[in-house]
Structure 1
Amino acid sequence: MFNPLIPFEPISRDTLPTGPQWIAQVKWDGVRMLAYEDGHALRLVNRRLHDRTAQYPELVTPRNLCSGSSYILDGEVIALDPDTGKPSFYHVLRRDRMSRPEGIAQAIHQIPVTYMVFDILFYEGKWVTDQPLADRQRLLHEVLNTAPHVQEVTNTLDAASLLTVMRQHQMEGIVCKDLTSSYGIQGKDQRWQKVKIMHDVYAMIGGVTYRSGIVNAVAVGVYDGPNFVYIGHVGTGKLNSNTWRELTHQVEPLIRQDRPFHNVPERSAETTWVEPRIGVKVQYMELTHHNTLRHPSIQTFADVTREDCLANQLLQ
């Protein structure tokens, strides 16, 4: 059996690459997964090298994914939200975190998954990672056993139009790939470039956490009618160490004993509550099923009022 490997990763970009060698693909909002079959067994391993074979029994029947007897495929396991029909990270994570066999057996029908395959690294005793992406894609197209639970990710030459469509459908973004490029195992460089679709929200700080006496994250909220509603903790973004120190002094006179949020935030035990007077502009990808921000980052402090920080800013 193969030793699991860390897959190639795209770098983040704000602009689209140009040139005839570039294609674009949908960035599927799922769990990155490599499939390894050696002629005896098929294993699924995620990018952190954790075995996930047991979690997706519908994918691991021998010769289920590919016509060859030995291969390595790269792709994304996704699950659709039954209400919106869009890929849902929340739903696929429910599948990915299951461990009880009886629960997994039920989930095959309750939370069906699809393996969206976009690359092939090894086939019938031969590594193909040094071949151009265009050649790897031709091979993949020939040998992949497509079915409702196994799909080949398609290309488009018009990255800008694909990005527009992804925005219209509130999807995660796109990945642009150089057709002439090889596959960099355990690599991350400009051969693959991802453009994520992000959103902005103005919010107020209602709590802080500390590390070594300095604020290192803020709990933020928006106003829904009379209620100040928690939408997430944010500890990343464009603030430098000096700004975090300044914020530590700014919040000191605003500290209060009772929780300002209408709902109970996560990490409440470690959060110091503050009067919601300091505004921030936060970038995020989407709302989770718990109505908190996914992948939030602070862009800047903002001179805003309560009327600027309303819940109707949030994209559902």
Structure 2
Amino acid sequence: MFIAPMLLETSKHAFDHADYIFEPKFDGFRAILSVKQGMTTIYTRHQTVVTERFSELLNGSISDDVILDGEIVCYDPETRNVDFELVMNRFSTKHPEKVKHKSRSLPCSFMAFDVLYYQGKDLRRLPLSERKTVLDNVLEDHDFIHQTPYVVGEGKKLFKTIQTANMEGICAKLFNSPYQSRRSPNWRKIINWKHTEIYLTGYLKTPAFGWLAAIKTNNRLKPVGIIEHGPSRTERQSFYQAAEPLVTDEDSKTVHLKPAIRAKVKFRNWTRKSMLRSPVFEEFIL
């Protein structure tokens, strides 16, 4: 059985508050895990069934007649850090033999942070504090299904720990909040953004929007991605006015520029191919 997940709004800064719990935000993908009559079904947040792609989550003991909300993550075998690219690698693997091999060589974990249904009872109207108590009793020993840890009140301290560990961020959740299948200010995410300076070396032609980004390494420009989010209408207009005399060439999709416009961007992390993941424009460097 699928239940649409409760989504988080964004807060710019970590905060302390006695009415909130704070959890690490694991860099994976959201999933609903349902166990009915001994059969486990795993859904994405958009209700796509991905059960057979994560066979390691089907083995072991977990309470029957339960629906859990959580995040599927994958740990780098060498660094033991959560790695988004690796979990996406697993997500895209569908062939049964390849899934079987990767479930051993690159296993995933389900980090449960909420329980929505248990033993015939819909728990969504209960406050989060009571659902957490139920969750404590639901999860038995399992190699790949774990409860997400949390602290009460001390969001700033946890966020500093997350920054030191180079993790994705934290979630702040009102401890008396019911579960609502929509985006709610009762649940918030604070992202551990990275920041860097880039050159804007071109742009995509309409109708698409995107600015080509590059960084200078050893006196050479290296492409690092496309900026698709962040600038206001005024900032876009300013960019195109400044770009007009800088055009060097173009093709059917892209206009290329001399590297004269610089900007600050924030991004989630560097990918394995040294590209910016989810870059967002912040401001021009004058």
Task: Give the TM bin, normalised by the shorter chain.
Answer: over 0.9
Question: 1:57 Cα deviation (Å)?
Answer: 0.9
> What corresponds to 2:155 in structure 1?
159
Measure, in 2, the Cα distance between the counterparts of 1:192 and 1:276: 41
Measure, in 2, the Cα distance between the counterparts of 1:65 and 1:50: 24
> What corresponds to 2:281 in structure 1?
298
> Pairwise CA RMSD of aligned residues?
1.7
Instruction: Give 2:222's match in structure 1, choosing from 219, 229, 237.
Output: 229
How far does the alpha carbon of each residue in 1:119-142 deviate from its partner, in whole angstroms, 9 at most, with x for none? 000011110000011111111111
> What corresponds to 1:169 in structure 2?
165
Question: 1:58 Cα deviation (Å)?
Answer: 1.4
SS of 1:236 mapped into structure 2: coil
SS of 1:135 mapped into structure 2: helix
How far does the alpha carbon of each residue in 1:143-180 deviate from its partner, in whole angstroms, 9 at most, with x for none? 11232211111111222111111111111111111111
> What corresponds to 2:92 in structure 1?
97
Question: 1:269 Cα deviation (Å)?
Answer: 6.8
Question: 1:65 Cα deviation (Å)?
Answer: 5.5
For the 8 Å contact 1:45–1:51, the answer to whether it is kept is yes
SS of 2:41 mapped into structure 1: strand
Measure, in 2, the Cα distance between the counterparts of 1:52 and 1:278: 44
Question: 1:54 Cα deviation (Å)?
Answer: 1.0
Change (3 A) 1:80 1:256: same
> What corresponds to 1:217 in structure 2?
210
The question of 1:29 aligning with 2:16 is answered: no
How far does the alpha carbon of each residue in 1:243-284 deviate from its partner, in whole angstroms, 9 at most, with x for none? 3233223212211138xxxxxxxxx97322111100111111
> What corresponds to 2:122 in structure 1?
127
TM-score (norm 2): 0.94
How far does the alpha carbon of each residue in 1:15-37 deviate from its partner, in whole angstroms, 9 at most, with x for none? 33443221111101111110112
> What corresponds to 1:80 in structure 2?
75
Amino acid at match of 1:94: N
> What corresponds to 1:251 in structure 2?
243
More divergent stretch after superposition (294-303 vs 33-42): 33-42
How far does the alpha carbon of each residue in 1:84-112 deviate from its partner, in whole angstroms, 9 at most, with x for none? 21100000010011111111111011211
The question of 1:48 aligning with 2:41 is answered: no
The question of 1:201 aligning with 2:196 is answered: yes
Give structure 1 stretches of 5+ with no counterpart.
Answer: 259-267, 304-316
Alignment of 1:131-142 (within 5 A): 131-142=126-137
Measure, in 2, the Cα distance between the counterparts of 1:269 and 1:119: 48
Give structure 2 stretches of 5+ with no counterpart.
Answer: none
Question: 1:209 Cα deviation (Å)?
Answer: 0.5
For the 8 Å contact 1:65–1:150, the answer to whether it is kept is no
SS of 2:180 mapped into structure 1: coil
Amino acid at match of 1:195: I
For the 8 Å contact 1:55–1:99, the answer to whether it is kept is yes
Measure, in 1, the Cα distance between the counterparts of 2:3 and 2:163: 33
TM-score (norm 1): 0.86
User: Size of the alignment, in residue pairs?
Assistant: 285
For the 8 Å contact 2:14–2:159, the answer to whether it is kept is no
